[in-house]
A = this chain, B = another copy of it.
Amino acid sequence: MIELTDEILAKVIKKRKKASYKGTYGRLLVIGGNRQYGGAAILATTSAVYSGAGLVSVALAKENHSALQARLPEAMTLDFDDLIKLREVAKAADVIVIGPGLGLERLDLLTEVLNLLTENQKLVIDGSALTLFAREHLDLPFPENTVFTPHEMELERLSGLKIGQQTKEEVQGFVNQLGAIVVAKSSETRIFAPNRESFILKIGSPAQATGGMGDTLAGMVGGFLAQFHGETEEVVAAATYLHSLIASVLAQKSYVVLPSRLIEEIPLFMKKYECN
């Protein structure tokens, strides 16, 4: 496994070109945020915007629109029950992040998205969408550039590998079969791509162990995929590494690192580490 270092950031985070506009940095759609878990979608969406995605929309329960807009006027909002609008925005998206706070009752939205996406789109499957995917044994097609972001229990559900059995070899085998990138989250997060060398993350802090951190990572992964067009697993690795890097720096002064606090730092850290 390749141990990730700051180098992955300089490799992935390109200096922006003068002649560019918001469309250059991608259209991203987050789908999630039912009534109980609205905050998860808010965090993922905010994280995507602060990572630099050019145009960000979020489809979530309409009861959560007001809170989303109060925190993040930079994003556009859809009611996740308005399928006509949702399809329209999903078709135009470069990246879709599905799952943060979606809820296990919305299998319909996951299948809708899987049926709709085409090969030139990118997909991040997180949170409730992972559990739905595992539970329903979905064998719907997904784009080549699809990223699953399970924590250990979700990986168990997805792969059948018990937590104690999630060795490098076993997970790699599963990933080769799955045909997608997998961010296997744990205290030492690993990133696997089919038939590629995997990455391991040795930084990170237990101060990150708090509700909303996974949603924040999903948004960052989406935000990076929207803008950066190198090897997909490297782009994903850079987002994941940066997430833990920021957390570990903030953890030097903070017993617990709040996701909303981490998000504020994203554009500042990206600037420090951008390619020169």
Q: Which residues of A contact B (CB under 8 A)?
A: 13, 16-22, 24-25, 35-40, 42-43, 46, 49-52, 54-56, 62-79, 85, 151-152, 186-187, 205-207, 209-213, 251-260, 266-268, 270-271, 274
CB-CB < 8 A to A37: which residues of B?
A: 76
Query: Is B65 a contact partner of A38 (Cβ separation < 8 A)?
Result: yes
**In the docked arrangement, what's the CA distance between A20 and B188, Å?**
10
Q: Measured between C-beta atoms, what is the minimum distance from A159 to chain B in Å?
A: 18
Query: Is A16 a contact partner of B209 (Cβ separation < 8 A)?
Result: yes
Partner of A212, one of B71, B73, B274: B73
Beyond the given A35-B77, A253-B271, A255-B267, please list 7 additional residue pairs across the A-B interface where CB-CB is below 8 A.
A20-B206, A20-B209, A21-B151, A50-B258, A67-B67, A67-B68, A254-B267
13 contacts between A and B (CB under 8 A): A16-B206, A18-B206, A20-B187, A38-B69, A39-B72, A39-B76, A54-B210, A55-B211, A65-B67, A67-B70, A67-B73, A251-B271, A254-B268
Query: Is A209 a contact partner of B25 (Cβ separation < 8 A)?
Result: yes
Query: Is B253 a contact partner of A49 (Cβ separation < 8 A)?
Result: no
CB-CB < 8 A to A252: which residues of B?
A: 271
Considering only CB atoms, which chain B residue lies closest to A269 in the complex?
Answer: B255
CB-CB < 8 A to A51: which residues of B?
A: 256
**In the docked arrangement, what's the CA distance between A251 and B15, Å?**
11
CB-CB < 8 A to A205: which residues of B?
A: 16
Q: Measured between C-beta atoms, what is the minimum distance from A114 to chain B in Å?
A: 24
**In the docked arrangement, what's the CA distance between A251 and B52, Å?**
12
CB-CB < 8 A to A66: which residues of B?
A: 63-64, 66-67, 70
Query: Is A50 a contact partner of B256 (Cβ separation < 8 A)?
Result: yes
Partner of A210, one of B19, B46, B49: B49
Q: Which residue of A51, A270, A271 has the most chain B CB atoms within 10 A of its CB atom? A: A271
CB-CB < 8 A to A68: which residues of B?
A: 67
Query: Is B74 a contact partner of A260 (Cβ separation < 8 A)?
Result: yes
**In the docked arrangement, what's the CA distance between A254 and B50, Å?**
10
CB-CB < 8 A to A259: which residues of B?
A: 73-74
Query: Is A24 a contact partner of B253 (Cβ separation < 8 A)?
Result: no
CB-CB < 8 A to A73: which residues of B?
A: 38-40, 42-43, 46, 67, 71, 212, 259-260
Query: Is B74 a contact partner of A209 (Cβ separation < 8 A)?
Result: no
Assuming A64-B69, A65-B35, A69-B38, is B256 touching A267 (CB within 8 A)?
Answer: yes
Considering only CB atoms, which chain B residue lies closest to A27 in the complex?
Answer: B211
Considering only CB atoms, which chain B residue lies closest to A152 in the complex?
Answer: B21
CB-CB < 8 A to A25: which residues of B?
A: 209-210, 256
